[in-house]
């Protein structure tokens, strides 16, 4: 399992080059991308395709090669196989058949982005969220109370909708770091509040291009959520009906709705 550059072709280890020169076949998510990488480093290798649509079938072909005593390598378009890219099925099938899988570590968009995010660990790698809005928001609900840093991948044509959903479900006050086109010519790293991220992207369409790593700070502690919930609730009650204000304050901050409702009733009673 050979990690390959996520952009800059020089970001590849000596060990990875050594392995790619030595194996009998290199299985690649996209053989065109792999051919360019190999040619850049002067490697002539036999290439075959392994991608999300044929991985189960090709895994059997890999096992046949391994049974003949051959060594094979698996690469993806960028980064490490099996992490938001094909490879996991092939590894599981090879292991079940009694063959060894060896990691050849290297570039990772997630760790590269984390290194410049300035947000503390631990962290959870979520990867790509569902493409459709309803399913995406439902998936985010499972992470709303998670108290540590969250790492997402997102494609350019979904980044705005994704950020809108992140702000709506996790809360606009959280810190977010947008890492775009890492190691490439137009590499950009921008930090702001989650509720401001969409506006920053919309201000310049060029900022919406390329592959994104989105890193969001974890949910505040319960006491912090309660305090933030009360602060937001007070502001909303000045403009909205009580039930609407409570519902929105709970959604925005993650504070318990029942506690906020009790606070809102107490405030309303005190003002009468």
CATH number for position 185:
3.30.950.10
What is the rounded average pLDDT for all residues in the chain?
A: 93
Are 190 and 149 in the same domain? yes
Count of domains observed in the chain: 3
Domain assignment present for residue 7? The answer is no
The residue-averaged pLDDT of 194-211 equals 95
Cis peptide before 244 (omega within 30 of 0): no
Q: Tokens in use for 271?
A: 């003002």
Q: How confident is the model at residue 223 (pLDDT cuts 50, 70, 90)?
A: low
pLDDT of residue 263: 83
Q: Which residues, 6+ apart, have CB-to-CB distance to 131 below 8 Å?
A: 158
pLDDT of residue 266: 78
The residue-averaged pLDDT of 8-35 equals 97
Domain assignment present for residue 102? The answer is no
Are 162 and 68 in the same domain? no
Residue 238: domain span: 222-271
Are 247 and 212 in the same domain? no
CA 80 – CA 3 distance, rounded (Å): 4
Per the DSSP assignment, residues forming a β-bridge with 4 are 79
pLDDT of residue 7: 93
Task: Report the candidate in 33, 44, 30, 37 with the shortest Cα–Cα distance to residue 9.
Answer: 37
Half-sphere exposure for 259 (CA within 13 Å, toward CB): 14
CB 59 within 8 Å of CB 97: no
The model's pTM is 0.80
pLDDT of residue 231: 86
Q: Tokens in use for 250?
A: 């709970």
For the cut 80, the answer to whether the pLDDT of residue 270 exceeds it is no
Are 189 and 231 in the same domain? no
Q: Looking at per-residue confidence, does 84 or 108 come out higher?
A: 108
pLDDT tens digit string along 40-90?
Answer: 999 999 999 999 999 999 999 999 999 999 999 999 999 999 998 999 999
Domain assignment present for residue 4? The answer is no
Could you say which of 69, 96, 123 is where a domain stops? 96
pLDDT tens digit string along 126-151?
Answer: 999 999 999 999 999 999 889 999 99
Are 203 and 230 in the same domain? no
Domain assignment present for residue 5? The answer is no
Positions of E strands within 118-200: 123-128, 149-154, 175-180, 188-193
């Amino acid at each position: 399992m050979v990690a390959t550059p996520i952009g800059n072709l020089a970001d590849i280890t000596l060990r990875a080059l050594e392995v790619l020169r030595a194996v009998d076949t290199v299985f690649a998510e996209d053989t065109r991308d792999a051919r360019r990488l190999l040619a850049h480093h002067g490697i002539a290798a036999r290439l075959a395709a392994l991608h999300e649509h044929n991985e189960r079938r090709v895994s059997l072909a890999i096992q046949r090669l391994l049974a003949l005593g051959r060594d094979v390598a698996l690469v993806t378009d960028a980064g490490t196989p099996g992490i938001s890219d094909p490879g996991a099925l092939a590894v599981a099938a090879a292991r079940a058949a009694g063959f060894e899988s060896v990691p050849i570590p290297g570039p990772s968009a997630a760790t590269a982005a984390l290194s410049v995010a300035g947000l503390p660990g631990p962290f959870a790698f979520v990867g790509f969220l569902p493409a459709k809005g309803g399913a995406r928001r439902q998936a985010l609900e499972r992470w709303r109370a998670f108290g540590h840093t969250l790492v997402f991948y997102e494609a350019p044509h979904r980044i705005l909708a994704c950020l809108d959903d992140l702000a709506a479900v996790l809360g606009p006050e959280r810190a977010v770091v947008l890492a775009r086109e890492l190691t490439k010519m137009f590499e950009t790293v921008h930090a702001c509040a989650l509720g401001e991220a969409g506006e920053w992207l919309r201000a310049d369409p060029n900022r919406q291009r390329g592959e994104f790593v989105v890193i969001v700070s974890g949910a505040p502690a319960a006491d912090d959520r309660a305090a933030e919930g009360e602060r937001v609730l007070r502001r909303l009650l000045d403009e909205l009906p009580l039930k609407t204000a409570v519902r929105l304050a709970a959604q925005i901050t993650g504070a318990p709705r029942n506690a906020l409702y009790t606070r809102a009733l107490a405030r309303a009673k005190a003002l009468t």
